[in-house]
A and B are shown apart, each in its own frame.
Chain A
Amino acid sequence: MTSPADSQIVLAEIEACSYRNKTAAETAAHLNPLLQKYLPLSSNTSSPSGAADQRLKNERQKDHYSHFILRLAFAATEDLRRRFVRAETMLFKFRFQQDDSKERRAFIESLNLDWEVVGDDEKRELAEHLVNATPGLRRVDDESWFKVDWERVPELVERRAVYVRKGKAYVPGREQLSMIIAEFTARLERALEVLSVMTTAHNVLLTLF
């Protein structure tokens, strides 16, 4: 596979590295104008009619489609796939952190991640355990809690940083970010693997017939 586009891609891949040694504020200052110019993505609250606004729909459609177009372009080699996943994860994380908390919660709920939000009653009942088991936590009410099968968060269990009861781990809200990002990366990697196998198979068939 040698096309001019490929070589350009290989020659000029710098950007992911350039974010590595920057603080969050520096990254934001660098990214925001670029995103604003080329790939704006507004929240529901930015428009009086919410998600029904045609401008928001267009922005989201462009974001959605361009992601999948680049998937095709970057599925070819292991190296390109890794770069794609890294850049997309970075972008997702950046947007996720900027999202307002209400919309973020609605988005997380829409994902069907088998996460269960811990209700107020249960939270009160387990308050003492939660505080004791979760380091760096002063009051239970500061966090929104949710419970997942404990196998989903092995690193938290390993650090003994989470309360486990009846097979469920009670994870505080601030661990959500890393878990969502991990899930995003994992799903994207899997999808790209499948895509590359499919395109390879397709190319093989084309050479045969």
Chain B
Amino acid sequence: MRARRVEVDGVLDHVVTATAEDRRLQQPYNNHSQINLTARMIRQDINRIDPKRRATLDYKKKQFATPTYKQQDYPHRLNFYEVPPTAEITLEQFEQWAIDRLKSTRPGFLRDVPR
């Protein structure tokens, strides 16, 4: 864990970034060195899973698994919008797509927006 002091809007804050060491510590029980064990005991509260989710996880394998979602492949042109989107998009796309949708059917909404 590496902490860095930064200034955001005149307020001092700390930015904590994960280091390679952290990622190695997060590997479940692959190294039995005393240092590592101690480190893990201290860090236990960080590694704990939300109790509600615990039952569904095999902690040895899935603790740090990335979430997986149903793959969306749009076989049809039309969409009933039942399944929310889950993939990542950029902020620019987020903004531009929303504006484009507004422009397409509700031009009145954006009359006063400069761009």
Contact = CB atoms under 8 A, between A and B. Distances in A.
Chief secondary structure at chain B's binding surface: loop
B79 A67 contact: yes
Chief secondary structure at chain A's binding surface: helix
A29 to B, nearest CB: 15
Interface stretch (B7-15, B17-25, B53-61, B103-111): B103-111
Contact of A95 (B77, B93, B100): B77
A43 interface: yes
A65 B97 contact: yes
B109 A39 contact: no
Interface residues of B, number: 33
Nearest to B74: A60
Contacts of A9: 109
A113 B86 CA distance: 24
A51 B106 contact: no
A66 B98 contact: yes
A103 B81 CA distance: 17
A201 interface: no
Interface residue tally of chain A, by bracket? 35 or more
Contacts, number: 120
Chain A CB within 10 Å, residue with most, of B80, B89, B94, B109: B109
Contact of B102 (A16, A56, A70, A96): A70
Contacts of A165: none
B35 interface: no
B100 A39 contact: yes
Enumerate the 4 nearest inter-chain pairs by beta-carbon distance, A residue then B residue, closest first. A66-B101, A14-B108, A60-B74, A38-B104
Given A70-B102, A110-B75, 7 more contacts: A34-B104, A34-B107, A65-B89, A69-B94, A70-B101, A87-B106, A99-B77
Interface of A: 8-9, 11-16, 18, 31, 34-35, 37-39, 41-44, 51, 56-57, 60-70, 73, 87, 90-92, 95-96, 99, 103-104, 106-107, 110-111, 184, 187-188, 191
19 contacts: A8-B111, A14-B108, A15-B105, A31-B104, A35-B105, A39-B100, A39-B104, A39-B105, A51-B74, A56-B77, A57-B74, A64-B72, A68-B85, A73-B98, A87-B106, A91-B104, A91-B105, A104-B78, A110-B75
